[in-house]
Amino acid sequence: MSNPTSIVPKRLLDEISPSLQREVDFFLKWGYLIVDNALTERQLRDVTSAFEDCIGNKDREFTHQLIEEDERFDCLLENPPIIQRMKAILGNCLQLHSATARVTRPGAPDQPWHRDGPWPVSPEGTPFGSLPGQINCAYYLDELTAENGPLVILPGSQRAPFHPPAGHVEFGDQKLVFATPGQAVIFDGWLFHRGGANVSKTDRRVCLLCYQNAWMKSRENFDSPRIKKLREEGSPERQLLLGGITSW
Ligand SMILES: O=C(O)CCC(=O)C(=O)O
């Protein structure tokens, strides 16, 4: 694959509205954002039925190649309410880090606290301004409850210069996120987070689309058949998102 520089955005950041700026400020401070109406009813129906066909009835917990699974997941790739916020936070040079789906079956225990990457953090970043920058976007397809397991986060922990504790101890200022289908929860990959135990009788399903700057290494290798086709036929933005620039 050659590197088509024509797909590189002309500007790193666009002007943003005062209300979007408030969301960016909230995200930078607390490390998460809840986006209402992130999916239309139609998109939610399509994604949920694709999830059931591909993963729900199968004997597996994850797919790490969500976009490869079914075209009904394509709407998650460049979903305007999410991409608009990702660009306002990360800038216009966006690339997909990974697209995953996870099903937490009845009886699954609490996840341990974790961050999504191994890189160290300093609250101020480096003098040059770099921080590990990877933002996850979780679309829960089932309403999160105390029974099926909320998303548990520790707001502000994305800048903590230490790793999360082992296990799933309770923090006094942790937050339980009871997301509803159609919402999206955007969170900094370095935020301490974990999924709660599922003590209900039904599956708990989530799609996780993770974004980063296009100059970072991704987890997706972007060479599977559907991804290649989507990239070849896609807009410059989609080409960049799907790894159109392979090396510098
Ligand atoms: O299941 C959840 O709510 C969070 C999933 C998660 O953090 C992960 O898969 O790394």
List C-alpha distances in Å: 115 to 102, 119, 127, 132, 176: 16, 9, 23, 11, 17
3-state SS assignment for residue 224 = coil
Is residue 63 included in any domain, yes or no?
Answer: yes
Q: Which residues constitute the domain of residue 202?
A: 17-116+133-241
Is pLDDT at 4 greater than 90 in this prediction?
no
Question: Considering its fold, how many domains does the chain have in total?
Answer: 1
Is residue 9 included in any domain, yes or no?
Answer: no
Q: What does DSSP say about strands 94-104 and 62-63: parallel, antiparallel, or unpaired?
A: antiparallel
For atom 1 of ligand 1, the residue with the nearest CA is 195
Is pLDDT at 17 greater than 80 in this prediction?
yes
Predicted structure pTM score:
0.97
Is residue 137 included in any domain, yes or no?
Answer: yes
The residue whose CB lies within 8 Å of the most ligand 1 atoms, and thus the one to mutate among 136, 148, 206, 207, is 206
Q: Give the rounded percent of residues in the chain with a pLDDT score beyond 90.
A: 94
What integer is the mean pLDDT of 2-13?
Answer: 89
CATH code assigned at 192: 2.60.120.620
CA of 114 to the centre of ligand 1 (A): 9
Is pLDDT at 28 greater than 80 in this prediction?
yes
Is residue 128 included in any domain, yes or no?
Answer: no
pLDDT digits over 39-94, tens only?
A: 999 999 999 999 999 988 778 899 999 999 999 999 999 999 999 999 999 999 99
Is residue 246 included in any domain, yes or no?
Answer: no
pLDDT at 1 (0 to 100): 52
